[in-house]
Each structure stands twice: as C-alpha cells, then as structure tokens.
Structure 1
C-alpha cells in the first residue's frame, strides 16, 4: 500500500475546512441520512461526509461491521466521524451531487417557541365572522356554512389549548415528578383534552361542497389539503396510498410538520370508496380504503413520504400526528336519496300519519333526513361513519339560487365576463329574463352550478369573438330572445 493511501490519524473531517460540502444545508432544515433516508429527528445526529452526504450512526456502524467484522462499536464515538482520514486524498476528486430537492426537505421542529408567536383567542375568527366571509362567495347552504364555521372555530381553539398544554408540560415537568414521587403522590392529569369532530358533507353534484372548502383555504391562514378518494387504493396496488393525503397537507405547510399538524384535510368523492356489492374481484379501492382511513381519522402517528405520494428508498420520511388534523369528507352519494325515500315510505301508510308514495319524490332537501343506517346501506362501514360524527347535508340548487349564483358572489360568473369585456372598454349587461332562462336550462342539465358556466360559455363565445372587431361598441345587453335564438343581443354604440 502506498504512503498516500495510508490513513492519517491526525486529521478529522469535521475539524477541517479545506473540503467543505458544496451545498450548505440551511439551519431551518433537517439533515437526512443518505442510506436509510431518516431525518436527524429520528436517527439522531448525522455525520457529514465529503460531497454533502450525511450518514446516521446506525448506518455507519453497519457499514463498518460489514467491512471490518472487528466488533468495535463506533456508535460510542459521539459528535465525530468513526474514522480519521487524510483529506488530501479527496483533492481534485469529483464528489457526487447529493443535494436534496427543496420539496423533499423537512423543516426542523422549533425547540423553544416564542410565547408571542402562540395563537390567542384574539387571533381566532368567531363562527359568525367565518360565515360572513363565506357568504360573500357561497350562495345558500346556510346549515353547511354554519357547521363548517363552528368546526373551524373549534379547530383553532384546539390548537390554542394544545399549545398551552405543551407550554405547561415543558415548565418544571421533572421537578414536579420528583416532588410527587418523594411524597408518594400520583400526578393528577390536567384539563380534559378536546377531541376533533370530523365532518361528512353530503350533497348533489354541483351544490358547492368542494367550492365551500376551497373558499375556506383562501380565507383562513391554516394549511389545507384537498385530496381525491378516487385515487386511493389499498397498500401495494397501483394508485396513491392512504398516507398520500397527509403528504399533500405536509407539502401545503411547506414541509413544516408542526404546522401541518394544525391543518385541515378535505377528502373529496368519499362516496366512491363505498363497499362494492355483488363483485367477485378484489375490492382494492372500496372497503379496504375505508378501513385504512380509520387510523388517520381517529388520530395516530403516521409515517409519510416528503414531497412524494409513494414510499421508496430515496424519499425521506416524516412522522405526522393526525390527532389535531381536522378531516372533512365530501361526496355526492348518488342513489342515497332513493335509500332515504325507501326508508321513509316504510312508515305507516294508513291513518293520520300516513305518507303518500310520491310525497318525497320532488323534495330537494331529501338528504337532510339522512341517517347512519342509510349510509351503511349505501356501502359505508360503521367504523368509518363513527369517526365522522358531524353530518352536513347540502341542498339541491333551485332556480332562484342559480340566478343568485350567477350575479351575487364576489367572483360570480357574470362578473368575470364583465371584467373580460371591460378590457375592451365594453359594458356587459344581462337582463333578468335572460338570467332566468339560463337558470332553467341549468336545472335541466342536473349538474348544479357547474351547468351555468357551460351554458354561458356556449352563448358568450360569439360575443367574445365579434365585439373586438368594432372599437365603436360601447355596451352589449344579453336578452332572452338572443339566448332562445330568436334574435340577437342589443348593442349600443359609443356616444
């Protein structure tokens, strides 16, 4: 062996500045083991090697055991690498680029929180304030907005109580335990812990379930992730694992675990994971997904991949506590109204309390009479329903509500078209008869508020094409005859 290959026992990697890593890790992020991909909060202090590679003590010990078989326990050496080497050997070598992508970095947990950064009740918007903000964007659905406002309000208070409990627990915990042990007393528990009340939202398609939660995301300063239950499958099959919904929340919180643990997760299309009936194939996206969601809804420590929906050997893993995450599940539940009607029709059919067979056929609010028995008949397992204690039903939209949706919200569809034509210095006006016609056609499509944009896009295409041709046009009035294709829009020229 040549001299320049001998190990130099006088030079330490950590003590030498001649070969610093090409990438300086920010103090805000944790180091991640290059082998096992565990962050330093789990694996302990890391050893930084040339090229920016970090290794935990356990992986380094395994590496040396496989090479030397000497039995020496290198993990006993703290705050320094397990071998000293001549760094001149690395001169001129091209080290591999081991920089971790930004989306895969895990933010460090703050060891000491500033009390001024804690939330207080002054920072928490009251339920009526949250509902008032929702009223500016969402028309109707009063019960749903009230239920969501209360749930979010309680969620903020739960975060405050959790911060207060952590602060008290950190103050003189060891001293209190020693005093209690010396006096032979058992330490008493603190105040009762507030549990979260997860929400299940029911409503026909286009009634505003997803839009309601998306609006909350804009109004509230809390991490919110929207996941789709149709993409979830049983572990081991093609599709997203259950933990992917928490991964999305972690990404929404900027990979800050503490912030993600105070967030809200909305799982849309939850009715698509109902138990499949009369099927001979394996149900990998139905009942099995409901069973795997149980641990998330109730609260547990979940290992989730950072910056990815799939677990693999190259993705860092983070532990997220879902006990303080508020879950909102929403679905259209097609066919559930028939189950409810069938149950209601089983009541007495004679006498003063009798019900006609067609009494509930045209009831737009039939979902408000839903029970857990109806949802079980639909295909939801009782354990899943037990973890969603708050049932919120959204009403089917009427013609009057559809007309209000067209013009009243802050981002109403008509206001969007008015702003587009305003760039051409043209004023757009819709007559009330025209709005009524649009609402009637939307009811026929039976797709809720989504039908409004489809109808408007069809009729506005010609106007958006023709108006820029003539710079003298000052205003355009949309009339009912134009929508019925019995005439044209009323155009007024400038001056």
Structure 2
C-alpha cells in the first residue's frame, strides 16, 4: 500500500482487475494524487485545498464501486461505502447520515491498528508463546486472602487470583518451551478465553444503530467465553491480545482520525434514488436526505467514540445509474459539491469477454482454482469464452442490465453439475467447449421468462 503512487501507476494497477472505464480510472487516480500533493504544501495553503468530489454515472455492475474500493486498497486509504437509500428506509427518520463518517473512522482504526500490531509482532509472538506454555503446564490457582470489603468483592468476581508455580511446573515449562520452539506442540489442545462481541438489540425507532451500538459497547462489560483450540489456532488469538496490550490505544485513535481526515474515501451509492426524479416515493424524505448529507460533504466536525473528525478533506464519491433521474435533479448545493462528473460506459460483448479473460483473478481463474482443490482440471476454449460473453450481453439486453454481475449467475448455472459432482471426480480433466456452453444455456437464453428467472 503506497500513498504516493502516480496517476499512471494507479490506473495501471486498476487495469489488472478492472476492464475498461479508462476515464473514471483517470479521474479517481488524479483525485488521489492531488491528496498526496496537498500533504506537501505549507500548512496555510494546505487547509485551503479541498478534494474535488466525484460523481460517477452509469448502470449497475459496470465497476463504479470496484474502482473506488480497489483504489483505496492499493493506496492504503480508509474506505467505506453507504447507500443513500439507507437513510430513508424507515420513513422520514432513516439512519443518521453521520454514521457514514463513523464507519470511515472504524475502517481507519483497523488500518492503523494492523500497522501498529505488525510493528510489535515479534514481541507479541514471544508473549503469546509464554502464555501457551503456561496453559500447557498450568500452576495451581490460589486466591489472595481478603483484608477488606473491596478485596472480598474482587474474590467473588474471580479477579483476585494468582498462580502458584512449583519447581516441578517450572521444569516442565522449560521442556515445553523447547518443544514449542521446535514446532512439536502445534496440534496440542489448550483452553483459552475469547472475547465475545456484543450485539445489542431492541434499538429505539429513529435512533442510529451504529451510534447505539457504540454506546452499548462502552457501557456493557466485555464478555468472554472459553474455547478449546489447537496451539496453532490459539496462538493467533493470544498474539492479537498481547499486541493490543503493547500498542498505545490513544496514539492509534489519534493517528486513525488523522488518516481518515486526510486520506479517507466515502462512497455514496444510489444517489439517483434520493432525487426528485428518483424511483422512491416521498419527495420530502429524499430532499431531506440530500440536505442532511450536504453539511458533511461541505465540511463539518462529527463526534465519534475515537474523537472528533473534520470532514473538510475527506474525498466523497457519489454514484448512481441516473437512468430515470439526472444529476441536475440533485439540490443545487449538493451538485456544486461534486464538481467532477464521469459517465461509465455500458458493457459491450467484447467487454464481457475481456472481463472473463484478462483480470489476474478473473472468474474463470477462480473456478479453475476452486475445482483444482478437488483434483479436477478444467479449461475453457476461446469459442466457449466468446459464447459466454455473448450470452451475458444478450441476457442483459433482453432483461435487466446488471452489468458484469451477470457473469456470476451464468457461470454458476453453466458449472452447477460439475461443481456438484467434482468431489468424486479426482484426476479428471474437463474442457468447456462452445457446444457445452450452448447445450447448458441456449434454452434458458432463448426463453426470456426463464432467462429472467434463472439468469
């Protein structure tokens, strides 16, 4: 992950996974490079340079979200995606729009925490191994004698225990350390306590679920449950616990806020559905959502459990099909906050063929790898790939256009029988030809009602 990739490098990396849409890739690449350039300015000028937010226009499945998501991943930027319609799902109340910023901060905290934990990995592994030795050769649990009411209370909670280690246990542990270092105990079983995530329910109508969960997590004590795992599995849990003890939480939170403010990306999908020309009912609600989003995009300070965050320099990418409404149906103030417009191309038959062939993790390569785990080797002829692309394009034309997502449905239907039987076909080599594709899909493709139902 590099923040200083040039626009040309960003688009080249995006080309490895996303076919076409050159204009959109160039615009997001320039937007990301401008953020890096801004960080090198003097402080006074730095505050004046704000991101040029982008509005992506195009049908579903053409790569709007994927471009933004992959760009964020390769530059190490915190990223979150929200649907504008989520803010109107429960009538005129909806979800609190500030939750999108809180989600971004959570993503930023995860990134910063993982980086900090990687720096202390060696120390965390040593501490985790020491705990494993203690679990494999436990001492005798003792309880401190209570000398006051507070210590009596602690005894009842089980928080005033200590471990008595005899010479025999020390000797056994020394032997276990050597075996553990040599990798001889990886399959031994130990019982550890694992933190159980809280999932509060019964939210009050009109209250944002994310904010309520944050509040409940802070108020409610952390619950743990015991799990018996192999040493190999337990080490990961214990290593993470030890790493979290070593890193400075305040520093993580502060760095995460800073990263979200300077590099964060919020992707707001389905913006066309909250316009006056959108498909949803309730014009008042839709315009109200736009006006709620506006101050966040303009720049405001949002309170989160990690501290306040300024949204002035967060990059917002709006997206929508805009086939019923148009960008000018957004309220003028919001239109002005998305000055860069890019229209993504509708996928053609050759685009589907390139999507199947070119990306380094294309669908064909994924299915080949999945079946390889069963000892089954499959390959696709050039004619078969061309026919699959043609069918995907034709079905999208005749029914709902869902873009490249149509390929997932078509390939799953094509390979269903093979995927079902593969576990009993070890050593088999299967070639998918055009005739095979036609035999499996032609009847479905020609019957529009069946095609709409199955594909």
TM range (shorter): 0.5 to 0.7
Could you say what secondary structure the match of 1:253 adopts? helix
Could you say what secondary structure the match of 1:384 adopts? helix
CA drift at 1:468? 2.6
Cα displacement string for residues 45-73 of structure 1 (whole angstroms, at most 9, x for unaligned residues): xxxxxxxxxxxxxxxxxxxxxxxxxxxxx
Q: How has the CA–CA distance of structure 1 residues 464 and 281 changed in structure 2, closer, same or farther, with 3 Å as cutoff?
A: closer
Say whether 1:425 aligns with 2:375.
yes
Q: For the residues of structure 2 that align with 1:238 and 1:206, how far apart are their CA atoms? A: 30
Say whether 1:196 aligns with 2:76.
no
Residue 438 of structure 1, aligned match among 382, 388, 392: 388
Q: Which has the larger radius of gyration?
A: 1
RMSD (CA atoms): 2.8
Which structure: greater helix fraction?
A: 2
Provide the residue aligned with 1:222 in structure 2: 77
Q: How has the CA–CA distance of structure 1 residues 260 and 236 changed in structure 2, closer, same or farther, with 3 Å as cutoff?
A: farther
Q: How has the CA–CA distance of structure 1 residues 282 and 385 changed in structure 2, closer, same or farther, with 3 Å as cutoff?
A: closer
Say whether 1:470 aligns with 2:350.
no
CA drift at 1:236? 9.7
Could you say what secondary structure the match of 1:476 adopts? strand
**Aligned residues, how many?**
291
CA drift at 1:231? 0.6
Which runs of no fewer than 5 residues in structure 2 stay unpaired? 110-252, 442-455
Provide the residue aligned with 2:319 in structure 1: 330
Q: For the residues of structure 1 that align with 2:410 and 2:278, how far apart are their CA atoms? A: 37
Q: For the residues of structure 2 that align with 1:442 and 1:278, how far apart are their CA atoms? A: 26
Cα displacement string for residues 266-288 of structure 1 (whole angstroms, at most 9, x for unaligned residues): 1111111112589995632x111
Q: For the residues of structure 2 that align with 1:236 and 1:320, how far apart are their CA atoms? A: 28
CA drift at 1:439? 1.4
Q: What is the TM-score of this pair, normalised by structure 2? A: 0.59
Q: What is the TM-score of this pair, normalised by structure 1? A: 0.55
- Relative contact order (C-alpha < 8 Å, sep 6+): which is higher? 2
Q: How has the CA–CA distance of structure 1 residues 425 and 191 changed in structure 2, closer, same or farther, with 3 Å as cutoff?
A: closer
Say whether 1:407 aligns with 2:361.
no
Tell me, yes or no, if the aligned pair for 2:274 and 2:280 is still in contact at 8 Å: no
Which runs of no fewer than 5 residues in structure 1 stay unpaired? 1-121, 166-188, 307-316, 337-373, 488-495
Say whether 1:375 aligns with 2:327.
yes
Tell me, yes or no, if the aligned pair for 2:3 and 2:76 is still in contact at 8 Å: no
Q: For the residues of structure 1 that align with 2:280 and 2:85, how far apart are their CA atoms? A: 18
Provide the residue aligned with 2:236 in structure 1: none
Provide the residue aligned with 1:186 in structure 2: none
Residue 146 of structure 1, aligned match among 26, 36, 44: 26
Q: For the residues of structure 1 that align with 2:258 and 2:402, how far apart are their CA atoms? A: 40
Q: For the residues of structure 2 that align with 1:252 and 1:129, how far apart are their CA atoms? A: 24
Provide the residue aligned with 2:433 in structure 1: 479
